[in-house]
Chains A and B, each alone.
Chain A
Amino acid sequence: MSLLTIEGLPAAEISRLLDLADGFVEVLDRPVPKVPALQGRTIGMLFYEVSTRTRMSFERAAKALSADTMTFSPSGSSVSKGESLKDTALTVGSMGPDLFVVRHASTGAPWRVAEWTGLPVINAGDGAHQHPTQALLDCLTVRQHFGKVDGLRVAIVGDIRHSRVARSTAQAMATMGASVRFIAPRTLLPFDVEGWPVETTCDFDGAIDDLDVVYMLRIQQERGGGDVFPSIGEYVNRFGLTRRRADRLPEHTMVLHPGPMNRGVEIDPAVADGPRSLVTKQVANGVAVRMAVLLDQLSGSEKT
Chain B
Amino acid sequence: MIVLKGGTVVGTEQRIADVAVDAERVVAIGSVDVGPQDQVIDCSGAWVGPGLVDLHVHLREPGQEWKEDIASGSKAAAAGGFTTVVAMPNTEPPIDSGQIARYVFDRGAETGLVRVIPSGAISLGRAGAKLAHLDDLWAAGVRIFTDDGDTVADSGLLRRAMDYIAELGGIVAQHAEDPGLAGRGHMHEGAVSSRLGMIGLPSMAETIIVERDIRLVELTGCRYHVQHVSARQTLDVIRRAKEAGLPVTAEVAPHHLEFTDRLVETMNPVAKMYPPLRTKADVAALRAGLEDGMIDCVATDHAPHSAHEKDVPFEEAPRGVIGLETAAAAVNTSVGLPAVTFFERMSIAPGRLLGLETGPLAVGSVADITVFDPSQSWTPGTFVSKSANSPWIGTEITGRVRATLLGGQVTFEHKEGASE
A binding-site residues for B, Cβ under 8 Å: 84-86, 104-109, 111-112, 127-130, 162-164, 167, 190-196, 224
Contact = CB atoms under 8 A, between A and B. Distances in A.
Given A84-B311, A106-B316, A107-B314, A112 B194 contact: no
Given A164-B197, A167-B197, A196-B195, 18 more contacts: A84-B312, A86-B311, A106-B314, A108-B196, A109-B313, A112-B267, A127-B198, A128-B197, A128-B198, A129-B197, A163-B197, A190-B195, A192-B190, A192-B191, A192-B194, A193-B191, A193-B194, A195-B191
Contacts of B234: none
Contacts of A190: 194-195
A89 B82 CA distance: 41
Nearest to A171: B195
Nearest to A7: B195
Contacts, number: 64
A105 B88 CA distance: 32
Given A128-B198, A192-B190, A193-B194, A108 B312 contact: no
Nearest to B313: A106
Given A106-B316, A109-B313, A111-B267, A191 B197 contact: no
B415 interface: no
Contacts of A191: 189-190, 193-194, 200
Contact of A107 (B189, B191, B267): B267
B308 interface: yes
A84 B267 contact: no
Contact of B312 (A85, A129, A192, A193): A85
11 contacts: A107-B198, A107-B267, A108-B315, A112-B312, A163-B197, A167-B195, A190-B195, A191-B190, A191-B193, A192-B190, A192-B191
Given A112-B267, A191-B189, A106 B196 contact: no
Interface in B171-223: 183-184, 189-191, 193-200
A71 to B, nearest CB: 20
A102 B56 CA distance: 39
B267 A108 contact: yes
A130 to B, nearest CB: 8
Contacts of A128: 197-198
Given A190-B194, A191-B194, A106 B315 contact: yes
| Of B183, B189, B198, B267, most A-chain CB atoms within 10 Å | B267
A86 B312 contact: yes
Contacts of B190: 191-192
Nearest to B308: A84
Nearest to B200: A191
Nearest to A193: B194
Contacts of B316: 106
A111 B269 CA distance: 12
A210 to B, nearest CB: 25
A84 B308 CA distance: 9
A85 B269 CA distance: 14
A69 to B, nearest CB: 23
Contacts of B193: 191
B102 to A, nearest CB: 36
Contacts of B197: 107, 127-130, 162-164, 167
| Of B191, B267, B313, B316, most A-chain CB atoms within 10 Å | B313
A130 B198 CA distance: 11
Contacts of B183: 224
A109 B308 CA distance: 15
A180 to B, nearest CB: 15
Contacts of A162: 197
Contacts of A106: 313-316
